[in-house]
Structure formats: structure tokens, C-alpha cells
Chains A and B, each alone.
Chain A
Amino acid sequence: NAGVTQTPKFQVLKTGQSMTLQCAQDMNHEYMSWYRQDPGMGLRLIHYSVGAGITDQGEVPNGYNVSRSTTEDFPLRLLSAAPSQTSVYFCASSPLLRRTPYEQYFGPGTRLTVT
């Protein structure tokens, strides 16, 4: 099993550009999520999904869109990149235990710089 994979590993964008960060998992996990990590801020939840066709907002959803058309994939779209979105982005997946996320498996991260 590859676990959770993320592409690209690194990306540089200009302000106003759009892009999609890819995330895929091969563990048949129902729950998937996106976090951003900034120095001193910990991991902040952007969006999450409890199953195909279901998505919801996390703590910091503005400027980001997600979709979950399959169990395996959970792409994160930046609509119009801003310097404030410079960060490391982690995708994670987990099984649901009594409808709550259990052990999170994280991908290796995407380091995004917006100039």
C-alpha cells in the first residue's frame, strides 16, 4: 500500500494563479482532510470529508475548495492564490470509528510558496 500520496511536493505560484493539490489514499478510508501548517500555528483544518460526495468546512476554509467524487481522492483547489496561503499543506485520511475520525495517516506534504 502506498498510504496517502500528495502531489506536487513543492510548488511556487504567483498571486492570483489557481492550482489543485492532489491527494489520494489506497486504504479505503472514509475520512479525509486537509490541513495547513504554519510556524507557531500548529495544524489548522481547512476542509474535511466523511465519505464520497460529502465535504465540510474546517477552521480556515476561505480561499480553498474541495470535492470528494471517489473514496480515494480528495483534491484541494486554490481559487486565486495569495501570499497568505504560503504554507505546508498536509492531506490525511483515517477510518471512522463510531462516526468520528480515528488514527490519521498523513501524506508527506506539499510546500507551497505564493509570491
Chain B
Amino acid sequence: GQQVMQIPQYQHVQEGEDFTTYCNSSTTLSNIQWYKQRPGGHPVFLIQLVKSGEVKKQKRLTFQFGEAKKNSSLHITATQTTDVGTYFCARNNQGGKLIFGQGTELSVKP
């Protein structure tokens, strides 16, 4: 099936440093969704991007959708310990399948 590849798999940062996770596809994406899962919790929806080149911000989080709609990124400015968790991107495949990437696990050292 059509996958999305996420990198890196793990990221350890010092509190206050920035963090970026990338989501890449070999085929054009109709849209891309981002989720956050806290340790021991369930995934929680963050955002959906639809338009080529789209940039959306949620406080310290910046989401981008590539011009070719084949990649996306999530950037966190000045990480805090509350940002700890795993960040997933997800793509909609034909027929209603929502396929998740492997996720990027973020740990933040205070």
C-alpha cells in the first residue's frame, strides 16, 4: 500500500531547543494529518493540511505541506517538557484508508 515515511524515529532535545519531524511520500498526497500521542495515551488530532505549500501555526507548532504535496513537516519552537510524546503523520489513501507513519518519538530533557 501507499506509505508515508517519517524521520527521525527518535529525537532527544534539551528543553528550549527546536524540534522538527518530517513526513515523506513517494506519491502525491491529497492531504496530510498530524497527531500527537502522549506516553501511555491515545493519539490526538492536531491538524489537517490540504493545500500545496500550506503553512499553519498553532502556538509554538508550525505545520508545512510541500509544494509538490509529497512531504510535510512539523516544527516545534523552544520545546517544553509538555511536548514529550510521539508525533504521527497520516495520509488518506483511496477508499477511505487513513495510513499512519511510524511516528517520531520526542523526549525533552529539562
Contact = CB atoms under 8 A, between A and B. Distances in A.
Interface of A: 31, 33, 35, 40-45, 48, 50, 56, 58-59, 90, 92, 96, 99-109
B1 interface: yes
Given A41-B102, A42-B88, A100-B31, A31 B96 contact: yes
A13 B103 CA distance: 28
A13 to B, nearest CB: 22
Q: Which of B42, B44, B102 has the most CB of A within 10 A?
A: B42
A43 to B, nearest CB: 4
B96 A104 contact: no
Contacts of A40: 9, 102
A106 B100 contact: no
Nearest to A51: B96
B42 A106 contact: yes
19 contacts: A31-B96, A42-B6, A42-B88, A42-B103, A43-B90, A43-B100, A44-B100, A45-B97, A48-B96, A48-B97, A56-B96, A59-B1, A59-B97, A100-B30, A100-B31, A103-B33, A104-B33, A104-B43, A109-B42
B19 interface: no
A103 B48 contact: yes
B88 A43 contact: yes
B98 interface: yes
B44 A101 contact: no
Given A42-B88, A50-B96, A101-B98, 12 more contacts: A35-B100, A40-B102, A43-B43, A44-B100, A59-B99, A90-B42, A90-B43, A100-B30, A101-B96, A104-B98, A106-B42, A108-B42
A13 B31 CA distance: 39
Interface in B79-110: 88, 90, 92, 95-103
